Each structure stands twice: as structure tokens, then as C-alpha cells.
Structure 1
């Protein structure tokens, strides 16, 4: 069996899985941070969670102000659904709650499902009937907001919303937290408010 030194000396490494793994190890990780919104802007981070073995899904999200202070959090089990539908419902529910609370001046939407963010930004139509129904509901809500900005963030920067979404798996009915966050997310919220950098390996 070739030793690692001999493998590195081989000239035809392009399709060698060992060499690909070595190159992967030498890629610099991406630095990910959660960013505070500007003054006068409210930020909604949302996420969906799906258990592949059972097919059960849940949603969650968090609303914070320009000081990264907790305004509202939500979590809910939504039964059987795939991860895409869970992400869409998480966003729709978050928008409904933001609107219900009168925070409709400037809203920043942020999630780790890039395709959904692009659909919202570009107001794209989708072919899937189930997706189209939920997206249409989101589009009907958006005009109620004065200004909307949507952005994608890696899941390492969406940890609070991810935690809420996972908490939803254990709930028998929808849950909303106001002003004071549950202890399960307090430590993560503090880290994000302080601008903690979380490293993400390239290729994930």
C-alpha cells in the first residue's frame, strides 16, 4: 500500500480520491457571522427542519431588532412535509407574526435555503403545486411591508432559527415566545449578538 508521501509524489492525481480529500483538507474554511440589522429595521431569521426517517417536519424562527435584542420566537410541528416545504412555511409563518405585531416598516428576511431566498428576491414562479400555494400566500403578505430585503446565510449563521425549528419537533401545538427567549437559545443569541465567527468548511 502506498504511503502518503508516495501518493503525493504520483503525477496523475486529478481523479485520485485521496488527492481530492487532501485538497479538501487544505481549503480555508468560510467565516460566518450573524449580522445585526440597521436602526429602524427588524430582522427575521427562519428555518425548517425535517426528520428523514419519519418524514415529520417542523418550523421555527426568531425576530430581533438592531441591538440583536429578542423580540419574538416561534416553533411548530407541521406534520409530514419535505425540507423545502418546511422552509417555505417557516418563512410564511414568520412574516405573519411580524405583520401581526406591527413591525412592517423595514424587514430583513434571512434563511439558509438559498433557492427560497432567490425566489422571494426575484418574485419567481414555481412549478410545484404545493410550493406554489405557499409561495402565493407569501407574495400576498409582502405588499404590507414598506421595505423588504432578503438574504441567504449559511446554516452556521442561522443557528437560533435552526434551534427553534428543531424544538418544534417536540411540540404538540404551535408555540410563540415574546420578549424573553427560551433558555435553549439564550447562549446562541448572545454569541450571535457579539458577532462570534463560526467556521464553515468549504464544500458543505
Structure 2
């Protein structure tokens, strides 16, 4: 009975779920005398709670300025544009 149970347990084995790994984008430093911001905007759903963020680094990778804030309810396209606008204002 125990042997039959052990043999049947191998039939219950399920392959572990394979997770997709996030693509890691390499940061490329800015050239001298050039401003470079990396920005992002996102929302929860097509029209949902949204936020923007951005960072400015010098050519050595040192953080000079950053921002992160909630912007209310909007879609993800609008948040991307708003993040760019905020970076230009700074």
C-alpha cells in the first residue's frame, strides 16, 4: 500500500512555475554639458491611481535631482508625458 502511494505521488509532481525575469536596462552616462533625466510614469489600470518619478545624474552617476509623486487619477500615457514635463520644469 505504501509503495503504491509513493509511486502515485510521482504522478502528482508539477513543474515549478517559471518566472520571467525583468529586463535590466543599463544606465548610460550623459555627456559633458548635457542634461539627462530618466523618467517614468505609471497608473493602476486604464484610468487609475497614478504616479511619476525621475532622476538626474551627472556623467559619473552621482544623483543631482530626483522626484517621485502621486498625480491623481489618469492613464499611463498621460503619466509618461507628465513625468517628462516635470523633468523639463526642474
TM-score where L is the length of structure 2: 0.68
CA change 1:32–1:46 in 2 (3 A) is closer
CA change 1:42–1:55 in 2 (3 A) is same
Q: Name the structure with the higher helix share.
A: 1
- How big is the shift at 1:51? 1.2
Deviation string 1:19-56 (CA, Å, 9 cap, x unpaired) is xxxxxxxxxxx874110011222210111011128711
Q: Select the structure of larger CA radius of gyration.
A: 2
Q: Name the structure with the higher strand share.
A: 2
- Identify unmatched segments of 5+ residues in structure 1: 1-29, 98-204
Looking at structure 1, the residues matched to 47 and 85 of structure 2 have their Cα atoms a distance apart, in angstroms, of 24
Where relative contact order (Cα < 8 A, 6+ residues apart) is larger, the structure is: 1
- Identify unmatched segments of 5+ residues in structure 2: 1-22
Q: What secondary structure is seen at the aligned counterpart in 1 of 2:36?
A: strand
Match for 1:68 among 61, 71, 76?
61
Kindly indicate whether residue 80 of structure 2 is the aligned counterpart of residue 78 of structure 1.
Answer: no
Root-mean-square deviation (CA), in Å? 2.0
- Count the aligned residue pairs: 68
Structure 1 stretches of 4+ moved >6 Å: none
TM-score where L is the length of structure 1: 0.31
Looking at structure 1, the residues matched to 29 and 83 of structure 2 have their Cα atoms a distance apart, in angstroms, of 20
